[in-house]
Amino acid sequence: MLLSLDKNDTRPLHEQVAGAIRRAIAEGECGPGDRLPSARDLSEALDVNVNTVLRGLRGLRDEGLLDFRRGRGVTVAEGADARSVLHLRTRELIAEAARLGYSRNDVVDMIRGLP
Amino acid sequence: MTDRTKGTPGARRGPRTPAAPRTAGHGPGGPAGAGTGGLGTGSGTGTGSGGGTAARRAGPVWPAWLWTAGITAVLAGSPLLARERLPDRLATHWNSSTPDGSMPLWAASAVPALVWLAMAVAVILTARRTPGLWPAVLLPTGVVLGGAQAAIVRSNLDVADWHQARMPGWWVAAVLIGATLAGVAGWLLVTRRHTGGRDGGDGTPALEIPEGRRMVWFSRAANPWLQLLAALTGLGAVATLAALAGGVAEPDALWGLFAGLAVASLAGGLCSSVQARVSERGLEVSFGPFNWPRRRWPAADIVTARAERRSPSQVGGWGYRFSGLGTTVMLRAGECLVVRARGRRSDFAVSVDDAERGAALLNALAGRTG
């Protein structure tokens, strides 16, 4: 799988790591059931502290994109490909809303207001 | 990751190499050499199949037969030609320049020739599967046997009885030095033929890395049979240890069994899977579940990287293999990432999925730093 980080990105690193993996899942770089490289591998290759990587991975687990299994390492969860696409679009929506001056709550209200 | 099929619905594939997708090689429109032969074919013969590549790399076989025949002639002929000046029995073995073994003239002529013939034929026939390795074996062996025979004939010349034959020590040294030189020459011949010309050049086109991006590539491959073997022998080792602890049987035999099983399990486990990763640190290849042992090539040391299809029969089997193609870590037939490091005469290859993009990224990183 190919991962890519933006060196000029100003977001916290753990979000960037999570974003790179989320994007890889969304683009089909790794499918459900595939094993992710170990956190140490990722940290060495991306030149990011291993705890930061772990924090990013835990975030993705909480989103339901990754499974942590004892003895099997970290795997891509079932249905993660579709979920990660939805996640990406939601994030884009929030970013777009922020650019136009709407807060997250405004977007949530907007979604609630839809028929 | 597992070998993905094309066309994840609606998904952008991210930055792809300009090279054709893997499956396009055999299609009518596929670029020449994008299939089995790897990219950057320089020799340009039209054979496209994997077998064809192996046979082509092996080079012609007739020099091997010529060399075999020539050495046979030297071994068999030299005592016969000089028989007028030789005693009936020839001294054939020395113990610090005093002869302690002899053979009749006909045997001194026939025995080494037959030994050589049998060995050379066996090597040439097996070398068909391990392409072009014969010079590395047959050149030094031929020089050793031919030189020894010449020395034997020379020291028996004009003596009345084989007991008087003398073998100066420096002749032995000269023969050994000659054999070493022949071995080096054979090795150079093998590596030059397989690595020179054909792929000194480009390899896979480099991936375009956008400015300010850090890209890394991960891949792995595993051999489930080796994993199974490692698990079974590991279980066996544990069972033997339990039997030892329980004092069931003779400890000496059990310790041997335990050691054998443990070594087999460890070796199988280490060789059963391989991980490769390409990052700004270069290419890193590590083995087994513990990511150890590990080899690393800094990106600046990579001359060229490419993807190539290889099979165990081309490189001489599964595992860590040395052959005319260089070093190959072969876990399964199919796609391999092949790199040429700076200052090396031969390639390093590892069988991993998605090798083409790994090679493309590696070429990009090598170009950036080098």
B163 touches chain A (CB under 8 A): no
**Both structure tokens of B75:** 């071994």
When pLDDT is averaged across residues A2-31 and rounded to a whole number, the result is 89
What residue segments make up the domains of chain A, in order of their start?
A: 13-113
Q: For residue B21, what pLDDT is reported?
A: 38
Q: For residue B2, what pLDDT is reported?
A: 42
Q: For residue B38, what pLDDT is reported?
A: 32
Q: For residue B13, what pLDDT is reported?
A: 41
Mean model confidence pLDDT for chain A: 89
When pLDDT is averaged across residues A43-72 and rounded to a whole number, the result is 91
Helical axes B251-271 vs B224-246, angle rounded to 10°: 160
- Shortest Cα distance, chain A CAs vs residue B210, angstroms: 9
Sign of CA dihedral B279, B284, B288, B291: negative
B361 touches chain A (CB under 8 A): yes
- Shortest Cα distance, chain A CAs vs residue B332, angstroms: 18
Which residues of chain B are within 8 Å of residue A81 when distances are taken between CB atoms?
Answer: 8, 11
Q: For residue B279, what pLDDT is reported?
A: 92
Q: For residue A91, what pLDDT is reported?
A: 86
Would you say A2 and B357 are in contact if contact means Cβ atoms under 8 Å apart? yes
Q: For residue A43, what pLDDT is reported?
A: 93
Q: Does residue A18 carry a pLDDT above 90?
A: yes
B14 touches chain A (CB under 8 A): yes
* B143 CB-side CA count, 13 A: 21
Burial of B14 (0-12, 13-18, 19+ CB in 10 A): middle
Say how far apart CA B230 and CA B329 lie, in whole Å. 18
- Residues in chain B with pLDDT < 70? 1-60, 127-132, 191-202, 249, 369-370
Which is nearest to B350 in space by CA: B366, B362, B367?
B362
- Shortest Cα distance, chain B CAs vs residue A8, angstroms: 6
Say how far apart CA B290 and CA B230 lie, in whole Å. 14
Q: Do B8 and A27 touch (CB under 8 A)?
A: yes
- Shortest Cα distance, chain A CAs vs residue B183, angstroms: 41
Which residues of chain A are within 8 Å of residue B208 when distances are taken between CB atoms?
Answer: none
Q: Which of B213, B216, B354 sits opposite A6 (nearest CB)?
A: B213
Which residues of chain B are within 8 Å of residue A7 when distances are taken between CB atoms?
Answer: 212-214
Q: For residue B196, what pLDDT is reported?
A: 43
**Domain A13-113 part of CATH 3.40.50.1100:** no
Residue with more model confidence, A39 or B195: A39
Q: For residue B80, what pLDDT is reported?
A: 87
Would you say B265 and B272 are in contact if contact means Cβ atoms under 8 Å apart? no
Question: From the centroid of its chain, how far is CA A78?
Answer: 15
Comparing A83-92, A95-104, B13-22, B145-154, the range with the smallest average pLDDT is: B13-22
Residue with more model confidence, B97 or A89: A89
Which is nearest to A50 in space by CA: A37, A58, A39, A61?
A39
Which residues of chain A are within 8 Å of residue B212 when distances are taken between CB atoms?
Answer: 6-8
Residue A70: band (very low, low, confident or very high) from pLDDT cuts 50, 70, 90: confident
Neighbouring CB atoms inside 10 A of A52's CB total 20
Q: Do B214 and A47 touch (CB under 8 A)?
A: yes
User: Percent of chain A scored above 70 by pLDDT?
Assistant: 100
Interface of B with A in 228-257 (CB under 8 A): none
B6 touches chain A (CB under 8 A): no
Which is nearest to B298 in space by CA: B276, B280, B282, B278?
B282
B219 touches chain A (CB under 8 A): yes
